[in-house]
Chains A and B, each alone.
Chain A
Amino acid sequence: MLIRTPRASDEKEFAVTPRKLYQQRRQFMKQCAAGAAWATAGWLLPSESSASLIPSNPKRSPYSTTEEWTDKQAATHYNNFYELGYGKTDPSRRAHMLITEPWTVTVEGHCEKPGTYSVEDLIRSEEIEERIYRLRCVEAWSMVIPWLGVSLGSVLKRLQPTSQARYVAFQTIMDPENLPGQRRDVLDWPYVEGLRIDEAMHPLTLLTVGMYGKVLPNQNGAPIRIVVPWKYGFKSIKSIVRIRFVEEQPPTAWNRATPHEYGFYSNVNPTVRHPRWSQRRERRIGEFGKRPTLMFNGYEEEVASLYAGMDLSKYF
């Protein structure tokens, strides 16, 4: 009989992995990997917490068009969002680079309720309605998109702007460390936009948190943006972090870059010549032919009175 005196460095009996468990080691590794992938996916994909804001059965709106929706794949993979890149497919490819949590919107300027608000502070789930709007890009293409949001005016009223608030200025997130587009000076970052207070208060102007029944994809301006359907797309500023009530007309990003091409108002107008694209016609994404562009993108009846007496070729 062999009598062994165990050395101090020898494995103790209880420390040895049971054969049965040892034989399952591959499965164990797989489970670990799956768990890690699950955790990463939860972190990368749009989180469900902000999705809880989106009602499953949103109110319909009389402002909705009955036109056929643009294919969702197109609306989420053909984007101008220069913070995520200057090509049309860059924003969807790099959507994960926009960090939307945590997110706050700073409200400041001439109002009674300045402060820092969360998206949920500004928008209540039960108020959200679906608005199917035409979207007309200044590049002469257009889409029809079912947005989810509330009238910006109803939110602004709660913030109680004072009589000095003649304009509303908006600012997109500034995060050059994560947003590759902001690392080059193609625009004067951060992206800023503005509306006259009556434009901002107009019931068509939508403070938007979702599209196609879901929370906004990052490339479409998550978590909160505005949609101004009678103006060229670049006025509908994305991923808003700051709302400021001001007295003077605020600077706007594209106007600063190329003032003779992009005016402050930038209302869709087929009669105002543009040095780059004829605005008389547009291509609805998904269609072969072109269709005539409508005055105020077809919202003339609703918004023309805002500009009564103004020379729209001067205030383009």
Chain B
Amino acid sequence: MIRPVPWVAPALFLLCLAPAVELAHGLYTNALGPNPLETLTRDTGKWTLRFLLLTLTISPLIRLFQWQFLLRYRRLLGLIAFQYGTIHLTTYLWFDQFFDWAEIWLDILERPFITAGMSAFVMLVPLALTSSRWAQRVMGQAWKRLHRLIYVSAFAGLLHYFWLTRADFLEPAIYAILFALLMLARIRRTTTVSAGES
């Protein structure tokens, strides 16, 4: 097994934060265009999906190339996805709705893309809360089952993106194809494993 390189995790962490830093800097220097709050919401939403997809890439890579060391970074990527999701949701609650809870509730009920996005986020919360090594140890098999929620969350996130798109479906389509491939890799493993067991 490859020995852990001590600086990789912090370096990766900083790299993952770069888009957030760039957005914050853009907001501060007024470089996000004429509608900066929209840019902030849209970009943090995209980064949430990108990091969710990155998180889902780890397991197939480990299986395909035996890169066990990657497992160490999966939690980090998942938490980063959650972080971008939290900023994304906050920009909506604050800059779109100004914490008008009645209006927000109506939005969740009336607009399928909000319903999907909100569910995607809610599903990430228990995953973030149980992300510690300790929780993983204590929960055992239940932890594995619970964390499969990320599949549903990513799917809901994709629906959210598709349903809010007006006409240009190129980018959501790319994410959807990547998601489909990542899921396919898992289904194939499940079938080969069960075939091998029987």
Contact = CB atoms under 8 A, between A and B. Distances in A.
Interface of A: 71, 73-74, 77-78, 82, 86, 88-89, 141, 184, 186-187, 257-258, 273, 275-276, 278, 280, 283, 285-286, 288-290
A276 B164 contact: yes
B159 to A, nearest CB: 14
The binding surface of chain B is classed by DSSP as helix
A214 to B, nearest CB: 18
The binding surface of chain A is classed by DSSP as loop
A170 B162 CA distance: 30
A257 B168 CA distance: 12
B110 interface: yes
B104 to A, nearest CB: 10
Interface in B142-185: 164, 166-170
A100 to B, nearest CB: 24
Contact of A257 (B33, B98, B111, B167): B167
Contact of B33 (A78, A187, A278): A78
Considering residues A71, A86, A258, which has the most beta carbons from chain B within 10 angstroms of its beta carbon? Answer: A86
Nearest to B113: A276
Nearest to B171: A86
Given A86-B168, A276-B111, A283 B35 contact: yes
B107 A186 contact: no
Contacts of B169: 186
Contacts of A89: 33
B22 interface: no
B4 interface: no
A187 B167 contact: yes
Given A275-B112, A276-B113, A278-B107, A88 B167 contact: no
Interface residues on B, range: 20 to 34
Given A275-B112, A276-B166, 10 more contacts: A73-B34, A78-B35, A86-B167, A88-B35, A184-B170, A257-B167, A278-B106, A283-B35, A285-B35, A286-B34
Contact of A82 (B34, B103, B106, B167): B167
A86 B165 CA distance: 11
B22 to A, nearest CB: 16
A217 to B, nearest CB: 14
Nearest to A85: B168
A78 B34 contact: yes
Contacts of A88: 33-35
Contacts of A187: 167
B164 A290 contact: no
B98 A290 contact: yes
Given A86-B167, A276-B164, A290-B98, A77 B107 contact: no
Contacts of A73: 34
Nearest to A70: B34
Contacts of B111: 275-276, 278
A77 B33 contact: yes
B37 interface: yes
Top 9 A-B pairs, shortest CB-CB distance: A74-B34, A86-B168, A78-B34, A186-B167, A186-B168, A285-B34, A285-B35, A187-B167, A78-B35
Interface string B31-42: 001110110000
Interface string B53-77: 0000000000000000000000000
24 contacts: A73-B34, A77-B34, A78-B34, A82-B167, A86-B167, A86-B168, A88-B33, A88-B35, A89-B33, A141-B35, A184-B168, A186-B169, A275-B112, A276-B111, A276-B113, A276-B164, A278-B103, A278-B106, A278-B111, A280-B103, A283-B35, A286-B34, A288-B37, A290-B98
Nearest to B169: A186
Contacts of A186: 167-169
A71 B34 contact: yes
A139 to B, nearest CB: 8
A304 B111 CA distance: 29
Nearest to A286: B34
A144 to B, nearest CB: 13
B58 to A, nearest CB: 31
Contacts of A184: 168, 170
Considering residues B37, B110, B111, B167, which has the most beta carbons from chain A within 10 angstroms of its beta carbon? Answer: B167
Contacts of B170: 184
A161 B112 CA distance: 44
B1 to A, nearest CB: 46
A85 B95 CA distance: 26
Contacts of A275: 110-112
Nearest to A87: B168
